[in-house]
Amino acid sequence: MLNSTFKLSPILLAVAAQLAMSANATAIEGITAADKLALKSRTVYFDRDYEKRSSNDSTLAQGLELNYQSGEISDFFTVGASFYGVANIKSSGSAGGNILPSGSHAGDVRGGFGKVGQAYIGLSLVEDSNITLGYQKTKTMLLASSGSRAIPSTFRGITGNYQWQSFKVYGYVFDEWSRRGDDEWESFETVNGDDIDYVWGFGTTFKQGKWQADAEYLNSDNYLAKYGIRGSYSDKLAGGKIKLSAGIFFSEDDGSAFKAGSDKNLDNIDSNDGQVYYLDANWNYQMLTFGVAFAQVDEIWIEDNFAGDHGTNPLPTRAPIGPDLTNAEETIWQGRVGFDFAGIVDGLTINMTYTEGKDAENAKLGAAGGTADEDYWAIDTRYNVAAVKGLKLRWLYADYNSDETGSVGGVKDDEKDHRVYVDYSYKF
């Protein structure tokens, strides 16, 4: 494990300056021929009702993204930038820090904010490879930019990937991030305030015919290590298509920053050797999709990679809103049914999920410290409006309930959520 403090900004600035001078010296040609400029508007409405009514909140906000991506410059690099803005339309209750930053009074929100969300250089030094340096979105099995608010979260660092036949390998290192509901760029840290100098990782994906597999290792410096593998097989069955999947994931304490209170959902544990595995089957027939999944947790598997991170959960049993369902000793079952109304109402899909977690225990003391059961219903309705290019509508509803004796940190109070998204994208 690396121990030295590593900050990326001087490296990025030096590389950017060198590339800019190189481009100027060769009198860049065709910089606008393949450029892409797109505007994305997202109107978002959240309404959350809790068992503790004083915690209820609602927010109606408007998000905007202006995304620019250049064509290839001098045959080996590109540049890109994104500008994000969010404006509050109407908020009530304890909505601070959710879609918008907290305001000057308890529970309220700021009127809005704007920021540079992405600013990066992409390098293609070798065929079938890419390196991206700067402020950027990311998406891997264990770390991804959240897209559930008005704008996405983004990271500062270096990412790279290389494709070789059916294999793709990738890696990343980040030293700062900007949350999905704030305009600040900040270093990583634990809930206790201990520094995490950088988050890094590497992985591989494999796709060939009916088979697919992913493996990844992630390290939050001096705090947490996570790794896992999953695979799937797809084939035809009874006039439809079936997909069988399985995976296993681990989390481990990895330094002095991991201690009691470093994550508010961990029952004050000061060490971790977490494990969870899952099995999943999904069958699609004409307009219908049926699915069932099972997951079993040993010692608690930690979803959040640092404070404020709402985690990238690779399990099919994950909740779309709310708790992780990865508590110590928890057994999880899920049933799903989906409808695709293509040919009736093109672009309309409805997916319904019921998930139940049983026999969760306090992560530190076991059943003596607390036990809990939890479950949720979720309905996800999406409509890509064929009559208006670029317009997408979504309504997500979740109803979460728990029954807790003693204390199990990852289990929450009962909660009902409505989330509505109106997305419109326009490419210039």
Distance between CA 155 and CA 145 in Å, rounded?
Answer: 8
Per-residue pLDDT of the chain (428 residues; tens, 9 = 90+): 344 334 454 444 444 444 444 444 444 444 658 899 999 999 999 999 998 888 899 999 999 999 999 999 988 999 999 999 999 999 988 877 789 998 777 667 889 999 999 999 999 999 999 999 999 999 999 999 999 999 999 999 999 999 999 999 999 999 999 999 999 999 999 999 999 999 999 999 999 999 999 999 999 999 999 999 999 999 999 999 999 999 999 999 999 999 999 998 899 999 999 999 999 999 999 999 999 999 999 999 999 999 999 879 999 999 888 888 999 999 999 999 999 999 999 999 999 999 999 999 999 999 999 999 999 999 999 999 999 999 999 999 999 999 999 999 999 999 999 999 999 999 99
Q: Report residue 340: phi and psi, to 5°.
A: -115, 115
pLDDT of residue 97: 78
Strands 224-237 and 240-253: antiparallel
User: For 321, which DSSP code?
Assistant: S
CATH numbers and ranges of domains, the chain = 187-427 (2.40.160.10)
β-bridge partners, 250: 227, 275
Using CA atoms, how far apart are residues 100 and 86, in angstroms rounded to an integer?
7
Cβ–Cβ < 8 Å for 265, 410: yes
Could you give the count of Cα atoms lying within 13 Å of 324 in the half-sphere of its Cβ?
26
257: tokens are 């920053």
Query: Parallel, antiparallel, or unpaired: how do β-strands 129-136 and 224-237 relate?
Result: unpaired
| Distance from C-alpha of 332 to C-alpha of 407, rounded to nearest angstrom | 19
Q: Give CA separation, 348 vs 19, 23, 143, 352, in Å.
A: 46, 46, 29, 14
Gap between the Cα atoms of 333 and 292, Å rounded:
8
The 10 Å Cβ neighbour count of residue 42 is: 20
- SS3 state of residue 198: coil
Residue with tokens 């690779």, as numbered in its chain? 314
Strand partners, 189: 195
324/372 Cα distance (integer angstroms): 14
pTM of the shown model: 0.91
Q: Which residues does 17 contact at the CB level (< 8 Å), separation at least 6?
A: none
Cα 83–Cα 87–Cα 92 angle in degrees, nearest 5: 145
Backbone angles phi, psi at 184, to 5 degrees: -90, 150
Q: How far is CA 231 from CA 174, 302, 313, in A?
A: 27, 21, 15
Among 73, 75, 91, 62, which residue's Cα sits nearest to residue 20?
A: 73
Rounded Cα distance, 231 and 24, in Å = 47
The single residue listed with the structure tokens 């959040």 is 304
The CA R_g of the chain, rounded to the nearest whole Å, is: 22
